[in-house]
Amino acid sequence: MTKLIDGKQVANDLKVQIASSVKKLIALGITPGIAVILVGDDPASQIYVRNKQRAAEKLGIDSEVIHLPATTSEEKVLAKIAALNANPAIDAILVQSPMPAQIDENRIQSAIVPEKDVDGFHPQNVGALFNNAQDYYPMANTPRGIMTLLNEYMPNLVGKKALVIGRSILVGRPMMAMLNNADATVTLAHRHTTNLEQLIADADVIVVAVGKPHFLKMSDVKADAVVIDVGINRLADGTLVGDVLDDMPDSEQLLTPVPGGVGPMTIATLMQTTVELARQHSTI
């Protein structure tokens, strides 16, 4: 069986550090606070938000969930964000995606002040990431969590051939920037890429985020490659699978499992960023 990357364990180790940081901040009279806006009743989104809230509460972080009807106008969401921007008790603001069709998610993300943009999607924070700015700024939590995993399992990325499959603003594009900032040689592949098979065969690190069950086979990957599976797909029988098929019964390849790989890291990293933002606000 391909060797599995233990995302749960790395996430738990990170949470121990976060809990220690929270205790120190609370001792100084600072309680980190995160607000999550959920518009509509998408079942998956409700589960994600509930998991985030539970993680925050366990770590001593104040958590507020603002659940709005699916018919909520964009103006009302913007008004909620404006109120949270002005609320000193809130250090981090997250708007759960996807949102109803009447709401422009880009406009919503841009309305969150950059210093409370816990997802790192504000244009200012995206620009800082792509410029490899050296001062502090929040960045996308899933790619950042992946970088934490890679630091455990492939700590030296300098000169490594990294392939990112999928170019969403949620994962692919910030992932490309983070790997590039770590001095890997990065290729961003997408639906129009014509030489994907060769890119897969040559890559030392592969991050797959396309949302298609078993899109990539481990038998097509280098023997010593590290593969990060970001996909979460539910099959007709209810089974959860990733974007990667593990068809190698005995190899030295490394792969994140689904579930239990990237997912726990995303939530832990979200909490990490919330605490960092609280610390930043305490020095303003």
pLDDT digits (tens, 9 = 90+) for 203-256: 999 999 999 999 999 999 999 999 999 999 999 998 999 999 999 878 889 999
> What is the pTM (predicted TM-score) of this model?
0.95
CB environment 113-143: b (16+ within 10 A), e (fewer)? ebbbbbbbbbeebbebbeeeeeeebbbbbbb
25-54 tens-digit pLDDT:
999 999 999 999 999 998 889 999 999 999
Q: Can you give the pLDDT at residue 283?
A: 67
Rounded to an integer, the average pLDDT of 69-79 is 97
User: Over 70: is that where the pLDDT of 198 sits?
Assistant: yes
Rounded to an integer, the average pLDDT of 95-107 is 94
**C-alpha angle 138/140/143, rounded to 5°?**
130
Domains defined along the chain, listed by start: 29-115 (3.40.50.10860), 141-263 (3.40.50.720)
Q: Can you give the pLDDT at residue 177?
A: 98
115-128 tens-digit pLDDT:
999 999 999 999 99
* Binding site per annotation, positions for NADP(+): 166-168, 232
Supply the mean pLDDT for the chain.
96
Q: Can you give the pLDDT at residue 1?
A: 56
Active site residues: 52, 96, 119
Q: Can you give the pLDDT at residue 43?
A: 87
**Measuring CA to CA, how many Å separate 188 from each of 2, 148, 209, 261, 270?**
25, 20, 11, 22, 24
Within 13 Å and on the Cβ side, how many CA atoms surround 206? 31
5-22 tens-digit pLDDT:
999 999 999 999 999 999
